[in-house]
């Protein structure tokens, strides 16, 4: 209960600051099951997973790629040069942070560049070349609109210090399911500083950084352009994939052994990968390390008028 109360407070305060739309405050954490509930046996990452030999690491990565192709349609095309660019950017951001890659683990990497708006699942290895598993389009924070923040860059751990929750699937006042259909996972990365996108001076404020799905009928087809209030929108199929395979649930699987609240958040039909990690990495390929525009970032992007669903 000591973990649940802060999580509830954070959800209520965060809904207006970080969701793509004003979201119904009926979105709450999944209730813990009864005390005598059996629940699925713990089968997630263990200390042994960090010592998998290279051939088993590659087998686990290949199995995850196959599952991604089956479960997530419209994956983005990949090239060796493109993969290296994503890996290089992710390494740079991690190197500039306090985080280290000391064991094999999956990370979720997002490029907030307005001309890109994509994510990749990357297998990070401490003593071998990193690998891209695959990725999709996303939507990050849209500047220029009141109360819309620019999604922050950096490394954001997903740990059992914060309890995730699931969408209720109810409509808000704009008839939009801001977090997607009922049951969609919402990953909570806590309070973060972000630029207020409606102020030219670059003032900052605190947002609750979330990663979540969005309304499948009205908004999902617009993923791939900046549109959120600071959070990261992902397609519903990618939401289910990350959730079912526990891509960022290394800490959650450990906590689920002893804490029913965390076991309740995890899906009962999950197939946790032994490569699970706990890091979200966000960068902006439109700027260099000093925040200056890069050559490929110059030039206007076609303006897509906002639909009435987003106003």
pLDDT at 303 (0 to 100):
37
pLDDT at 301 (0 to 100):
39
Give the tokens for residue 120. 């990749």
Round to whole Å and give the CA distance between 127 and 130: 9
Give the tokens for residue 243. 């959730």
pLDDT at 291 (0 to 100):
57
Round to whole Å and give the CA distance between 120 and 280: 10
pLDDT at 307 (0 to 100):
34
pLDDT at 33 (0 to 100):
35
pLDDT at 292 (0 to 100):
63
Specify the residue for token string 């990725």: 135
Q: Are 134 and 75 in contact (CB under 8 A)?
A: yes
pLDDT at 17 (0 to 100):
43
pLDDT at 251 (0 to 100):
95
Round to whole Å and give the CA distance between 153 and 143: 15
Burial zone of 203 (CB within 10 Å; 0-12 exposed, 13-18 middle, 19+ buried)? exposed
The pairing of beta strand 105-111 with beta strand 232-233: unpaired
Sign of CA dihedral 188, 189, 194, 197: negative
pLDDT in tens, the chain (311 residues): 445 444 444 444 344 446 434 333 333 344 333 333 344 443 444 444 566 788 899 999 999 999 999 999 999 999 999 999 999 999 999 999 999 999 999 999 999 999 999 999 999 999 999 999 999 999 999 999 999 999 999 999 999 999 999 999 988 888 888 899 999 999 999 999 999 999 988 799 999 999 999 999 888 989 999 999 999 999 999 999 999 999 999 999 999 999 999 999 999 999 999 999 999 999 999 986 545 666 544 444 333 333 333 32
The pairing of beta strand 185-196 with beta strand 232-233: unpaired
The SS3 of residue 23 is: coil
Give the tokens for residue 203. 């003032």
The pairing of beta strand 279-283 with beta strand 105-111: parallel
């Amino acid at each position: 209960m000591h973990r649940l109360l802060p999580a509830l407070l954070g959800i209520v305060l965060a809904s207006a600051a970080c969701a793509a739309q004003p979201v119904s405050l009926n979105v709450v954490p999944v209730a813990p099951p009864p005390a005598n509930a059996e629940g699925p046996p713990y089968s997630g990452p263990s200390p042994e997973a960090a010592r998998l030999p290279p051939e088993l690491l590659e087998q686990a990565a290949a199995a995850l790629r196959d599952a991604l192709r089956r479960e997530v349609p419209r994956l983005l095309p990949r090239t060796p040069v493109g993969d290296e660019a994503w890996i290089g950017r992710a390494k740079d951001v991690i190197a500039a942070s306090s985080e280290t890659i000391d064991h094999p683990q999956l990370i979720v990497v997002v490029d907030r560049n307005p001309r890109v708006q994509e994510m990749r699942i990357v297998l990070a290895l401490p003593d071998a070349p990193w690998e891209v598993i695959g990725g999709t389009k996303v939507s990050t924070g849209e500047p220029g609109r009141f109360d819309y923040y620019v999604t922050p860059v950096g490394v954001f751990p997903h740990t059992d210090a914060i309890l995730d929750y699931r969408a209720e699937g109810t409509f808000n006042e704009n008839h939009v399911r801001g977090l997607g259909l009922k049951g969609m996972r919402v990953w909570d990365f806590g309070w973060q500083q972000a630029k207020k996108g409606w102020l030219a001076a670059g003032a900052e404020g605190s947002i609750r950084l979330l990663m979540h799905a969005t309304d499948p009928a009205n908004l999902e087809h617009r993923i791939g352009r900046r549109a959120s209030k600071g959070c990261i929108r992902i397609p519903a199929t990618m939401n289910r994939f990350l959730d079912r395979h526990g891509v960022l649930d290394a800490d959650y699987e450990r906590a689920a052994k002893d804490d029913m609240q965390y076991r309740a958040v995890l899906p009962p039909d999950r197939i946790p990968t032994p490569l699970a990690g706990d890091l979200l990495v966000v960068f902006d390929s439109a700027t260099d390390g000093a925040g200056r525009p890069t050559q490929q970032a110059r030039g206007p992007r076609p303006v897509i008028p906002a639909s009435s669903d987003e106003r």
